[in-house]
Amino acid sequence: MVFGGLLKAQVVINRTGDNPHPDAMLDIQDTTKALIIPRIALRSTVLSTPLNSFAAGMVIYNTAISDTGFSAVTPGLYYSDGAKWIRASSQSILSDTSIYNADGSLNNNRTVKLLDKNLMFNATSGNLLFTSTTGKVGIGTSAPQGTLHVKGTVYIDSLQSGSLTDSILTVDKSTGKLRVISPGVMNGSMKKIVYTVDINGQTNFNTPMIILNSDNVQLFRNGIQIDFSVPVIGGNVIVAEIPCVVNDEIKIIQKY
């Protein structure tokens, strides 16, 4: 083994006595032996422990399985960018494979923590597609019960005007499932009144006629049927169970 090039502030390790590469501070030359870098048990990608601090360019082999989520570490080669550990894998420095240039499959559950940041998909003509026939999308819930399950307030903007011959969208009070009923259920003489809400939290609305039977009244908020109560049979006021907000369109249809 030869150590050479000390006057050039370079080090070569080999069996042949060859000079180091002119651009290398350390040049290890061998065809039958490998380099084993320090083996360290990391605790997290965001902790330098057991080292005192991060240093950009630092490389180690991690031997531990530790932490969860975006800061989890598993055995493998890691390097530091000066602020955290980054795993050197087929999805990072060893190749240029990513969702931008290749398809792939997840091999485990993954969590993206947005914290106070936004995740935006900006397209001029492309589509965001979810093609699974059995998978579910949950918004506000980690246990969706349908293809799309929204837990929270839903706002629908720029609805097109409809007619009395359109199918009617309703909501099951107990499950929250959307349903469609035929416009035929509204057959018979009827009156309609439409309001645009101008006060947040409004729940009271006047019907077109005196209420003799609450079953003859239907209340729609932005095109979706919602439940209501009738304080007084013989009056003309209904109380929506969902408080409305400014610019909601309220439609009341009353049969007689």
The Cα angle at residue 123 between residues 120 and 124, in degrees rounded to 5: 150
How many C-beta atoms surround the C-beta of residue 218 within 10 A?
A: 22
Place of tokens 């909501």: 171
Indicate whether 212 belongs to any domain: yes
Indicate whether 126 belongs to any domain: no
Indicate whether 90 belongs to any domain: no
How many C-beta atoms surround the C-beta of residue 236 within 10 A?
A: 15
The Cα angle at residue 37 between residues 34 and 41, in degrees rounded to 5: 140
Task: Tally the domains of the chain.
Answer: 1
Range of the domain at 229: 154-256
How many Å apart are CA 51 and CA 35, to the nearest integer? 21
pLDDT score at 223: 87
Amino acid code (one letter) for 49: T
Indicate whether 235 belongs to any domain: yes
pLDDT score at 107: 77
Q: Starting from the edge strand earliest in sequence, which strands make up the sheet with 2-4, in order?
A: 2-4, 11-14, 26-28
Indicate whether 56 belongs to any domain: no
Indicate whether 72 belongs to any domain: no
pLDDT tens for each residue of 45-70: 999 999 999 999 999 999 999 988 77
pLDDT tens, the chain, 256 aa long: 555 444 457 888 988 989 989 898 999 999 999 999 999 999 999 999 999 999 999 999 999 999 887 788 999 999 999 999 999 865 444 444 567 667 777 778 888 888 888 988 888 888 888 888 889 999 999 899 889 999 888 888 887 877 767 777 888 878 888 888 776 665 567 888 898 998 999 999 999 999 989 989 999 999 899 999 999 999 999 999 989 999 999 999 998 7
pLDDT score at 226: 92
Indicate whether 228 belongs to any domain: yes
pLDDT tens for each residue of 109-130: 888 888 888 988 888 888 888 8
Runs of H (alpha helix) within 31-134: none
Indicate whether 223 belongs to any domain: yes
Q: State the pTM of this model.
A: 0.42
